[in-house]
Amino acid sequence: MGKALGLLPSWYWPDGVQRYLAAPRVAIYELTVNRWARRYGDDTALIRGDESATFSELDATCQSVATACGARFPESPPRVALALTSGVEFAPLFLGLLRANATLLLLDGPDEAALAEFGAGLVISDMAGVPGEAPGPWLEQGGSPAGRPAAMADAARPAIAFPGRDGLAWHSQVSLMSAAMAFAAFLSLEPKDRLVAIRPPGSWEAVIALLAPLQAGAPAAACEPADDEEIAHLLRNERPGFAWVDAGRAAAMLDRDTPVASALRDSRTNVFVTTHGPYPRHLRRALRHRLRAHVLTVYGFAECGAIAASHPTWYLDDAAGIPMVGVDVLALDPATGQPSELPWSVLSYAGIGAKTQAVATNRRTGLADGSTGTDQWYVTGAHGILDANGMLFLQP
């Protein structure tokens, strides 16, 4: 069992995994596409079933989207809502619009309140219940229009919004990339270790699963989460190291042997389940028995990414997991919401705060006005205990 500096002496930490890392103040597009297109343009960037795109092809499509966006909105970058069901269409549109310095709202389902709060100048949608322009024409330019995309804006500005628990959660490119880099480091992702999020492309989980491999120069796997046959084909073809589902799909796979469940069982893929509270032990064991694979939990939110997760090398069925790379799980005084003066080791329970670079810019609580991002944290509203082994247990 590995140990890490800065943790309690008895805490477990996986060998070879960084405890902390910091995302650079560099645009997502540069980190995930452009630099790899310059160096290894013929390497595979995106995979969907039997189809794939190289970094050079992805770069060209993204540049075309960015230039078209600039030509249509010459005065200033637009506010664009993306409501897409296909990960293959989402990836170049998301990355290309970021290249154009657009401000984005990412939807994983119809959400009138989020759209009203965001105030989109453009909606690109193929999602039922969300009227907007079809994504196809944006991706079928047939070559870049005249002109070039503008210089990339400050990666630290709020640029990407997700519907959160209390209105929109606004991420900068730095905070979102921090969440993706942390997840990649936590799993020690290698190019051969595919990470497939069987979630709507606009969900925070799917965005992390897209960015985590791309920032390392590895292929990202895309799918259409509503198409079980396509997902099953992708799983059998690619045999990913990890698949990521929500609690609803996990319950469906327990209720009946779906094509996705059968493919996961055949490929022996580790399965992550997103949880916002305690995940019952009996459900985890039943799902593990059905899939014949590790069933791991990710405790996290759109506001801050993953806070804690099971690690494939060591986990307990009752626990949410160990703290994510780069996350300090703070014990908060339930009465004040401020960090407790007492350590976890002497507490029977406490409020849970997440101190991490990945917290959305408008969801940070600080010690005082003017405190920096590294001095701030996200208040989850949950309670639990971090035990002597570094395992986070959530209270119902």
Q: What is the pLDDT of residue 216?
A: 94
Strands across the sheet containing 295-301: 195-197, 242-245, 270-275, 295-301, 305-309, 322-323
Q: How far apart are CA 375 and CA 359, in angstroms?
A: 11
Mention every residue, 6+ apart, whose C-beta is less than 8 A from residue 242: 187, 193, 194, 195, 196, 269, 270, 271, 272
Query: What share of the chain has pLDDT > 70, as a percent?
Result: 92
Q: What is the pLDDT of residue 7?
A: 47
**Angle, in degrees to the nearest 10, between helices 87-99 and 55-72:** 60
Q: What is the pLDDT of residue 376?
A: 80
Confirm whether pTM is higher than 0.75.
Answer: yes
Q: C-alpha angle 279/285/286, rounded to 5°?
A: 105
pLDDT (mean) for 245-255: 95
Q: C-alpha angle 206/121/128, rounded to 5°?
A: 50
Mention every residue, 6+ apart, whose C-beta is less than 8 A from residue 282: none
Whether the predicted pLDDT of 5 surpasses 60: no
Q: Which CATH number does the domain 1-25+171-396 belong to among 3.40.50.1980, 3.40.50.1820, 3.40.50.12780, 2.30.30.30?
A: 3.40.50.12780
Q: What is the pLDDT of residue 90?
A: 97
Q: Write out pLDDT tens, residues 123-139.
A: 999 999 999 999 999 99
- Provide the 3-class DSSP secondary structure of residue 214: helix
**CA 155 → CA 176, 177, 196, 217, 372, distances in Å?**
10, 10, 26, 20, 16
Question: In the structure, what pLDDT confidence band is assigned to residue 9 with cuts at 50, 70 and 90?
Answer: very low
Whether the predicted pLDDT of 149 surpasses 90: no
Query: What share of the chain has pLDDT > 90, as a percent?
Result: 83
Q: What is the pLDDT of residue 375?
A: 63
pLDDT (mean) for 175-180: 97
Q: What is the pLDDT of residue 52?
A: 92
Cβ–Cβ under 8 Å, residues 212 and 244? no
Whether the predicted pLDDT of 368 surpasses 80: no
Q: What is the pLDDT of residue 370?
A: 46
Q: What is the pLDDT of residue 96?
A: 96
**CA 336 → CA 203, 333, 339, 364, distances in Å?**
31, 6, 8, 16
pLDDT (mean) for 212-239: 94
Mean of the per-residue pLDDT values of the chain: 91
